[in-house]
Amino acid sequence: MTESLHSFLSSGLNNLESKGLLNTIDTLQGPNGPLITVNGNQLINLASNNYLGFADKKELIDANISATKKWGVGAGAVRPINGTLQIHDQLEKKIAEFKGTEDALAYQSGFNANMGAIAAVMNKKDAILSDELNHASIIDGSRLSGAKIIRIKHKDMTDLENKAKEATESGLYEKVMYITDGVFSMDGDIQDLPAVVKIAEKYNLITYVDDAHGSGVMGKGAGTVKSFGLQDKIDFQMGTLSKAVGVVGGYVAGKGELIKWLKSQSRSFLFSTSITPGSAAAVIEALDEIMSHPEYVEQLWDNARYFKKRIKEIGFNIGESETPISPVIIGDEAKTQKFSELLIKNGVYAKPIVYPTVPLGTGRIRNMPMRTHTKEMLDTAIEVYKKVGNELNYL
Ligand SMILES: *Cc1c(COP(=O)(O)O)cnc(C)c1O
């Protein structure tokens, strides 16, 4: 290896290891379902984003296989050359129907959607007002655009209004965008979108909502924007097809004019081959299932409410969560790591989230109840929480 690369890597790796920031990644020995197998041990899975249990659902697998047989394993080219198959058009129609918009554009992932969509409309003459807890892909996509990024205190509408007023009245910027998660992934709280829309209308802000954790979860599954009936007021409804939808891919849904623009100006769409025909077909099946089986989303919420109620009853703090995302706040970073280790040792797979992902002293275990957990699995998980809580003198 080149000496300069080696010295960079070895000192960097030592530094990460000494700070406890080196990633160790567990490999699953089967699907990411309600129970998973890691190192030969079967564990109750409270770590996935597979909210509805769609990642290994039979109907989606069948749709994937038959589309693969019909269309092949790959799209064969980037979309604007000749990598747009009919199944991609069908996918985008289905996303637009699901989101209640005129049109939609599919990307290879949610991360790619944010990398490609923000910079397609914003540039260095513009400003982006951004909630301070926004996802990493929003931050990176915003940086790529070259626009001035203005941090807004989390869900603070007074701060948003003040900074929107300042940015629009300063005359420094051609366009001003407000961008936010619909559901925040670390705390499970929901952005106050009706208040956002009022401010956006007053100051003529472009609005962009990343609903990665809202789709398939909020508003009968259609997402946070639609749950507030705001699909005509939010310019960009961005999301992922890899969480509740269970497959892979990302999208932007909005007005036809916006999608037309993205199709010729969004670089991650233009210069990267789209999702496979099999994935597209599995997503179409998933969206049909969400729309025709409202009980799936209900079952998810039933399990989530049950888990949160029981975990509170035994004495844990679950913070501000309003969604199935169920953080259990431990506080101290080392204690949070230890807590997760003991959970896993006792049969419950739930991961620690600590600084710098969340503020110092607010370390937590992030629990993701699924539609496909049985009450018995959740009860067992609660018993393990009780045991570990007592062992660490936390309860
Ligand atoms: C997970 C997530 C993404 C990325 O989606 P992928 O499809 O996994 O790339 C983007 N934004 C938010 C808010 C997310 O939670």
The dihedral over CA atoms of 107, 55, 374, 320, expressed in degrees to the nearest 10, equals: -20
Structure confidence at residue 79 (pLDDT): 96
Q: What is the pLDDT of residue 21?
A: 79
308 is an active site residue: no
Q: What is the phi/psi pair of residue 95, to 5°?
A: -65, -45
pLDDT the model gives residue 235:
98
Say how many C-beta atoms besides its own lie within 10 A of residue 233's C-beta: 16
Say which residues have a Cβ less than 8 Å from residue 180's Cβ, sequence separation at least 6: 130, 131, 134, 191, 196, 208, 209, 210
Of 234, 269, 292, the residue that ends a domain is: 292
Predicted pLDDT of residue 66: 98
Active-site residue 202, yes or no? no
Q: Which long-range contacts (CB under 8 A, 24 or more apart) does 76-79 make?
A: 76/273, 77/273, 78/270, 78/271, 78/272, 78/273, 78/274, 79/263, 79/269, 79/270, 79/273, 79/274
Ligand 1 atom at shortest distance from the alpha carbon of 211:
13
Q: What is the DSSP pairing of strand 326-331 with strand 148-152?
A: unpaired
The DSSP output letter for 28 is B
109 lines ligand 1 (CB under 6 A): yes
pLDDT of residue 290: 98
Please tell me the predicted confidence (pLDDT) of residue 161. Answer: 98
- For residues 176 and 306, membership in a common domain is answered with no
Range of the domain at 28: 18-47+294-391
Instruction: Note the Cα 138 to chain centre separation in Å.
Output: 11
Given a contact cutoff of 8 angstroms between Cβ atoms, the answer to whether 215 and 235 are in contact is: no
What is residue 355's predicted lDDT score, i.e. its pLDDT?
87
What atom in ligand 1 is closest to the CA of residue 138? 11
Residue at 1 is within a domain: no
Q: Which residues does 344 contact at the CB level (< 8 Å), separation at least 6?
A: 38, 43, 350
Cβ(212) – ligand 1 distance below 6 Å: yes
Please report, in angstroms and rounded to a whole number, the separation of the first and last CA atoms in the chain.
Answer: 51
Using 50 as the pLDDT threshold, list the residues of the chain that sit under it.
none
Amino acid 219 reads G
* 243 catalytically annotated: yes
Give the pLDDT of residue 225.
Answer: 97
Q: What is the pLDDT of residues 187-237, one digit of tens each?
A: 999 999 999 999 999 999 999 999 999 999 999 999 999 999 999 999 999
Are 259 and 142 found together in one domain? Answer: yes
CA–CA separation, 49 vs 323, rounded Å? Answer: 13
The string of pLDDT tens digits covering residues 76-96 is 999 999 999 999 999 999 999
CATH number of the domain residue 26 falls in? 3.90.1150.10
Residue 323 in contact with ligand 1 by CB distance below 6 A: no
Same domain, 186 and 64: yes
What is the C-alpha to C-alpha distance for residues 19 and 13, in angstroms, rounded to an integer? Answer: 10
In short, whether 185's Cβ falls inside 6 Å of ligand 1 is yes
| 302 and 221 together in one domain | no
Question: 238 CB less than 6 Å from ligand 1?
Answer: no
- As a whole number of angstroms, the distance between CA 85 and CA 275 comes to 11
Among 273, 292, 311, where does a domain finish? 292
Q: Please tell me whether residues 307 and 181 are part of one structural domain.
A: no
Strand order in the sheet with 363-367: 326-331, 363-367, 351-353
CB atoms within 10 A of CB 359: 11
Of the residues 134, 189, 237, 242, which should be mutated to test ligand 1's pocket, given the most ligand atoms within 8 Å of the CB? 242
CA–centroid distance, 325 to ligand 1, in Å, is 15
Whichever domain contains 225, its CATH number is 3.40.640.10
- Examine the domain organization and report whether 78 and 189 are in the same domain: yes
Do 288 and 300 reside in the same domain of the chain? no
Number of structural domains found in the chain: 2
> Does residue 8 lie in a domain region?
no
DSSP 141: H
CB distance 135 to ligand 1 below 6 Å: yes
3 lies in some domain:
no
- CB 110, CB 182: distance < 8 Å: no
**Is residue 34 domain-shared with residue 152, that is, in the same domain?**
no
- Catalytic choice (57, 88, 94, 213): 213
Q: To 10 degrees, the CA torsion angle through 377, 361, 217, 269? A: -120
Do 249 and 317 belong to one domain? no
Q: Residue 147: which residues within 8 A CB-CB, separation 6 or more?
A: 122, 123, 124, 125, 126, 127, 128, 177
Of 292, 324, 340, the one marking the end of a domain is: 292
Q: Give nearest CA residue, ligand 1 atom 3.
A: 110
Question: DSSP code of 183?
Answer: B
The token pair that represents 159 in the structure block? 């701060």
**In this structure, are 139 and 161 located in the same domain?**
yes
